[in-house]
Amino acid sequence: MAYQQLFELETYLQAKKVQVEAALAEAVTLEQPASLRQAMEYSLLVGGKRLRPVLCLASCELAGGEPRLALPTACALEMIHTMSLIHDDLPAMDDDDLRRGRPTNHKMFGEAMAILAGDALLCQAFEMVAGRSSGVPAQRLLAVTAELARAAGAPGLVGGQVVDLDSEGKRVPLETLEFIHLHKTAALLEVSVISGALIAGAAEALVADLRRYARNIGLAFQIIDDILDVTADSATLGKTAGKDLLTEKSTYPALLGLEASRRSATQLITAAKAALAPQGEAARPLLALADFITTRNH
Amino acid sequence: MAYQQLFELETYLQAKKVQVEAALAEAVTLEQPASLRQAMEYSLLVGGKRLRPVLCLASCELAGGEPRLALPTACALEMIHTMSLIHDDLPAMDDDDLRRGRPTNHKMFGEAMAILAGDALLCQAFEMVAGRSSGVPAQRLLAVTAELARAAGAPGLVGGQVVDLDSEGKRVPLETLEFIHLHKTAALLEVSVISGALIAGAAEALVADLRRYARNIGLAFQIIDDILDVTADSATLGKTAGKDLLTEKSTYPALLGLEASRRSATQLITAAKAALAPQGEAARPLLALADFITTRNH
């Protein structure tokens, strides 16, 4: 990608991110109980790439929609993502103490509050779409709500997390690993892209192309996450990566090796971009986002 | 209530309950992971009064709607209720081992699965309304989704549970107790009644009357729960209820005394029924449900 384009993407992402963060900062309007609001906002307003909301806004724009109309849905996507991080970090799940360098929600507010803050964010996500999106035809919002419910629930995030927990400490086949990632990561990225287009009233053919784009970047995203985990671990542990791969929990690098994983991610990104070829110039932000996913280092 | 009417109510409730249970038995269509489906169905299909779905169907009928159209929403209400019981029973919350005489969800499937089964039921509730209700105008379903999200989330169930946990072992003022019950119990009963009417396309005036009915029975329901808890405790402990009242966690009987609590419940039921006076004969099932709530003994 040329320097000029990179610069433009940075500007584009930054502008969208600012827009999303302003909307998120105003989203939790709950007054009582203040402790619940605090726990919700602690994890929601912590920053991060805001990749899901930005994908939603960019896809709305590509489909000819006013991104402003997709802003409540963009917030909903970040709420669902945040909720899944809060619940996954719980002692009964991955038992993590730190998230983005700060104490996890349950370390800060206790387990009960962390469970409830997650539940509250999940509910508010649906309220954002169904109750706080003005100017969008009801039929479109209903379709987004249904897609979102599937992506967040048993056929998506939750199902992926169940299989992930069940696979801990086991060597699982590539098929299982793909199931986990398609559900745990790709499903929400897919609805992030699709929802923006649905809100804009995109034609079925465009929605199908965007779905293909989204599935491919979703899987690539997770492979790259796995690669980054491994390379980070190697550096920290000061051991050769190869040895760790044999003993660690199942990841793409562990199952395929580092080089094959990298090739696989690159192929997926290429396929993702090919899906948007019919859109020409208008697809540039989404193409750039696909590149951003491949080249990110955290 | 005359014997004839009681008999008819029994028949009515039973018929609606059968309809709801048949729909619930088919609702969880998830195939993989099977363990997640099992955990969801374990708590969802356990039985119970199915009061919330029946209120929804009865209210739809009162507003002139076809109850069949409200069936997915009726299922959604039971999913949200079930999810709140699963999460409330967790060790980090009320730490209960038994629910309706069977091991609680986390005792059966572990904490991680219980948290996830609850999350999955919550998501599927929204999918039922937004994605599986055919024949209902999108605008109505969107309004139901938004009401449901508020009732289940921070402004409803979740907010009530936060204040409830925070009040444990404390003597709280009546105001706090009302906040807990309005949020933890009345909010979901309210949306149970309202949603049926919204699906039927009820006029605003009827929705307002139903809301008044629902708030009153919601609060009465919880006062009667408190009374039953106390009387059951007294019998079990073999102590005078009066002594327990002073030491127990805040309940209506503890704050107002048993007699005043009973009077308060009766007044609320009377007010609930008065709200439906303009509906005449058509309101009979909902009036009978209000009586059912007052006279239940479990």
**Span A8-62, pLDDT tens digits:** 778 888 999 999 999 999 999 999 999 999 999 999 999 888 999 999 999 999 9
Two tokens, residue A43: 């994890």
Residue B207 has pLDDT above 90, yes or no: yes
pLDDT of residue A9: 76
H or E segment and range at residue B98: strand B98-99
Distances (CA, A) of B64 to A170, B70, B200, B271: 56, 12, 6, 23
Min Cα distance B237 → chain A (Å) is 29
Q: Is A50 left (phi over 0), alpha (psi -120 to 50) or beta?
A: left
Residue B244 has pLDDT above 50, yes or no: no
Min Cα distance A3 → chain B (Å) is 43
Give the count of Cβ contacts less than 8 A between chain A and B.
174
Set out the domains of chain B in order of their start, with CATH numbers. Answer: 3-295 (1.10.600.10)
pLDDT of residue B3: 59
Closest Cβ–Cβ partner in A127, A153, A159 for B149: A127
**Span A275-285, pLDDT tens digits:** 999 999 899 99
Distances (CA, A) of A278 to A200, A205, A209, A283: 18, 10, 9, 9
Min Cα distance B228 → chain A (Å) is 27
Q: Omega into B285 within 30° of 0, i.e. cis?
A: no
- A244 pLDDT tier (thresholds 50, 70, 90): very low
Buried b / exposed e over A69-84, threshold 16 CB at 10 Å, is bbbbbbbbbbbbbbbb
Closest Cβ–Cβ partner in B115, B138, B161 for A90: B115
Alpha carbon distance B9, B121 (integer Å):
30
Write out chain B residues lying below 8 Å of A85, CB-based: none
Q: Please judge whether B130 and A138 are an interchain contact, meaning their C-beta atoms are less than 8 angstroms apart.
A: no
Min Cα distance B281 → chain A (Å) is 34
Q: Please judge whether A145 and B126 are an interchain contact, meaning their C-beta atoms are less than 8 angstroms apart.
A: yes
Alpha carbon distance A169, A249 (integer Å):
5
Q: Please judge whether B150 and A127 are an interchain contact, meaning their C-beta atoms are less than 8 angstroms apart.
A: yes
The alpha-helical segments, DSSP class H, found in chain B are 3-27, 34-44, 51-62, 67-89, 105-109, 111-131, 138-152, 157-166, 174-181, 187-199, 204-237, 241-247, 252-256, 258-275, 284-295
| Residue in the block written with tokens 């660690």 | A248
Average pLDDT on B134-161 reads 98
**Dihedral of alpha carbons B291, B14, B24, B62, sign:** negative
**Could you give the percent of chain A with pLDDT greater than 90?**
77
| Residue in the block written with tokens 């009357």 | B209
As a whole number, the mean pLDDT across chain A is 91
Residue B238 has pLDDT above 50, yes or no: no
DSSP conformation class of A249: S
DSSP conformation class of A250: P
Q: Of A210, A175, A206, A165, which is closest to residue A190 (Cα–Cα)?
A: A210
Please state, as a whole number, how many other Cβ atoms lie within 10 Å of the Cβ of residue B137.
13
Alpha carbon distance B289, A79 (integer Å):
37
Contact in structure between A198 and A140 (CB atoms under 8 Å)? yes
Residue A246 has pLDDT above 60, yes or no: no
**CB-based contacts of B65, cutoff 8 Å, min separation 6:** B196, B197, B199, B200, B201, B202
Two tokens, residue B282: 């058509």
- B2 pLDDT tier (thresholds 50, 70, 90): low
Please state, as a whole number, how many other Cβ atoms lie within 10 Å of the Cβ of residue A234.
17
pLDDT of residue B12: 87
Contact in structure between A149 and B130 (CB atoms under 8 Å)? yes
Average pLDDT on A178-186 reads 94
Half-sphere exposure (Cβ direction) of B208: Cα atoms closer than 13 Å = 4
B37 → chain A, closest CA residue? A154
**Span A142-161, pLDDT tens digits:** 999 999 999 999 999 999 99
Closest Cβ–Cβ partner in B40, B112, B159 for A92: B112
Two tokens, residue A149: 């419910």
Alpha carbon distance B50, B189 (integer Å):
11
Write out chain B residues lying below 8 Å of A113, CB-based: 162
**Span A247-275, pLDDT tens digits:** 456 789 988 999 999 999 999 999 999 99
Q: Please judge whether B179 and A32 are an interchain contact, meaning their C-beta atoms are less than 8 angstroms apart.
A: yes
Residue A130 has pLDDT above 50, yes or no: yes
Residue A147 identity: E
